[in-house]
Structure 1
Amino acid sequence: MAFSHPQRVAVIGLGRFGTSLARSLASHGAEVIAIDRNQELVDDIADDVAIAVQLDSTDEAALRSQEVDRVDCAVVSIGENFEAALLTTVICHRNLELPQVICRAQTKFHAEIFAQIGATEVIQPEQHAGEMLGRRLAHPRINDYIQLADGFTILEMAAPDRFVGRTVRDISLRAEYKVNLIAIRRSSTESPDSQINVPGPDDVIHAEDLLLLAGDEDSLAGISDA
């Protein structure tokens, strides 16, 4: 799905994370400026994004020459040179006055520093991946997991055996577990793709259903563990 008004995003640092992000953004309709000091990395992504350019991101004039000062968001994903990542963040936040500067941090200490110098958001992909894998291994029924705020979560999980053959009304998720059922993902024999439906109270849960649930973590854990 493309953006209704294409977002302009500068991805600065084209390691594995930055390259994957830039390609994903472009595939969803964003106008991407991909930046790295390494010409080989720039050449590798040139056909996939709007602009791919080799430059030193600590050079404010060089960034302005590519209109980075006009983007909606800059993602600083420089992994090898922490000093360069810091300076790039400062330039994007203070000098270019970008509305959104997202930084990739390799450690908690780095994350704290990025936040202090003006990053609007700091992500730690490796930590997040580890947490997701740990959660999936500990709770095999959970397919996906999104934490929207402290304590409030949306997750997709396989329908527990005790729900199969019962209606949405019968399982009383809100009353029994303080959890809301948002949607059901169901496979169809007529189509290789699954269908997502907003359930009614009389809809019956099938064995192959995936349930999209929302609630606090403790309540959701009670369903997945039981």
Structure 2
Amino acid sequence: MLEIKNLDKRFGAIHVTKDVSLRLKAGERRVILGPNGAGKTTLFNQLVGEITPDKGKVILDSQDITPLDVPARARAGLSRSYQKNTLFDGLTCRENLALAAACKTGAVRSVFRDALRDKAVREIVEETAVLVHMTPYLDQRVSEISYGIRRQLEVGVALATQPLVVLMDEPTSGIGPEMSHAFHTMINDLPRDLTLLIIEHDMDLAFDVADSITVLNYGEVVFDGAPDEARGSSLLRDIYLGSWEDA
């Protein structure tokens, strides 16, 4: 479903991704681990088109999307949630989801048109709200909801475009243990035909949801395998300077 071929990126003397190659099957849930500065977010930025790689290709559902810009990649089926919230605080949760859904349906031809007038948009909003456990909050403004609920909404906005592949950049960043548990449940409840690529530092979440784990270190893939293999990897213990048995 998603193939990353030899992505390479330098910023001056800093080599942030080094010949990175990955292949995700349809419905696969892969978690990317790695210490700070490993190149994880830069990799995501290249996948969605925010950064142009120096070389390499991004293939989505057999289509080479490397030449496409960010909106075109989104229309092709690649969506992303961010490490920091990128929501419209003055709009309701429903309206935030509607704007994302309208990008998929084409309901919005002008920023002045109300996307919620479109039946297809309303249906997507309701369905997405159920997926991310947002139904009770739909008519609250984003400025009125907690940080943890905003994180759920951020994932919902990515899902409302009805993508083939969703990239999640540290979805549990900044939330407490109780909310983190809710994220575990939410992600596990997502449709299994949805392909997920997740950057995460929460080891509990990583091993709970992952079908496969990739580890980046200094911009290169140093491990790619099953969660059980990751738990037993001495290399990963060395990278994280800690015990994986408690993960």
TM-score for both structures, normalised by structure 1: 0.30
Relative contact order higher in (CA < 8 Å, ≥ 6 apart): 2
TM-score for both structures, normalised by structure 2: 0.28
From the two aligned structures, give the one with the greater strand fraction. Answer: 1
Name which one, 1 or 2, has greater alpha-carbon Rg.
1
